[in-house]
């Protein structure tokens, strides 16, 4: 047993294949409204969405505004008069039905659990989408807790997200907690601010950038497991 007793795991692109869920949910909504939904449209949406989530991490927009704004921008790009709020609502509902684990993610969680770590998913996503995919993929049978930003009333990288998450889990000793995630501006920066150790999951071996300072960096689930279980 290593130094950590509790691992907070990010969901999207750490355990779940968000890109695939996003693509499949979006194609269905756009097709249902008779809108174009080729690869170019999906990439354009993805860029809009990523830039808005980054703006939220910098404190420039709130989640409730962001989720509608991304469809305002997409509808404008497509020259469509569809209601962006309706598009977003249908998309979020669809997202909850399109859950895909990244290869090896389930085994990774099982091995951490079997190694004695208490596991919780700590995610900035939207409740319907996150709960739907948590249950739909069977992660709920291995990871007993799901903590979603909207339900906590704070989002990563706000340290309040971590304060409330640890409160919910009944944890007082932060030195026994580690945050594992692929997001430098959310997972790692937020845990830095909350005084929690981190593993930056960097499977593409991107260079470190920005103010976040990971305690460890790992490019595979095996590397993370070795770091956490010692
Ligand atoms: Mg992520």
Please report, for the chain, the start and end positions of each structural domain, with discontinuous segments joined by +: 6-17+100-229, 18-97
Q: Which residues contact 7 (CB under 8 A, 6 or more apart)?
A: 112, 117, 118, 119, 120, 177, 178, 179, 180, 228
As assigned by CATH, the class of the 18-97 domain is: mainly alpha
Q: Which residues are in the CB-under-5-Å shell of ion ligand 1?
A: 10, 12-13, 182-183
Query: How many A from CA of 36 to the centre of ligand 1?
Result: 28
pLDDT at position 171 is 97
Query: How many A from CA of 39 to the centre of ligand 1?
Result: 22
Beta pairing partners, 9: 121, 180
Mean pLDDT by 10-residue block, N- to C-terminus, for the chain (230 residues)?
Answer: 91 96 95 96 95 89 90 96 96 94 98 98 92 97 97 95 98 97 97 98 96 98 95
Reduced to 3 states (helix: H, G, I; strand: E, B; else coil), residue 178 is: strand
pLDDT at position 106 is 98
Does 3.30.1490.190 match the CATH number of domain 6-17+100-229?
no
CA–CA separation, 25 vs 98, rounded Å? Answer: 7
pLDDT at position 1 is 57
* Cβ 26 vs Cβ 42: under 8 Å: yes
* Cβ 197 vs Cβ 179: under 8 Å: yes
């Amino acid at each position: 047993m290593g130094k950590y007793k509790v691992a907070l795991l990010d969901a999207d692109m750490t355990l779940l294949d968000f890109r695939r869920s996003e693509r499949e949910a979006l194609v269905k909504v756009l097709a249902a409204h008779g809108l174009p939904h080729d690869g170019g449209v999906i990439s354009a949406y993805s860029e809009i969405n990523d830039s808005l989530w980054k703006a939220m991490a910098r404190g420039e927009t709130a989640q409730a505004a962001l989720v509608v704004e991304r469809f305002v921008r997409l509808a404008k790009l497509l020259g469509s008069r569809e209601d962006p709020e309706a598009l977003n609502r249908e998309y979020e509902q669809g997202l909850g039905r399109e859950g895909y684990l990244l290869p090896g993610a389930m085994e990774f969680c099982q091995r951490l659990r079997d190694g004695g770590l208490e596991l919780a998913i700590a995610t900035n996503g939207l409740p319907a989408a996150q709960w739907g995919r948590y249950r739909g993929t069977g992660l709920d049978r291995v990871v007993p807790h799901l903590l979603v930003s909207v339900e906590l009333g704070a989002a990563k990288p706000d340290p309040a997200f971590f304060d409330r998450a640890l409160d919910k889990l009944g944890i007082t000793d932060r030195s026994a907690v580690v945050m594992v995630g692929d997001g430098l501006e959310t997972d790692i920066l937020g845990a830095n601010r909350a005084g929690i150790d981190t593993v930056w999951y960097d499977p593409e071996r991107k260079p470190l950038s920005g103010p976040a300072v990971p305690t460890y960096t790992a490019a595979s689930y095996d590397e993370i497991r070795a770091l956490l279980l010692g």
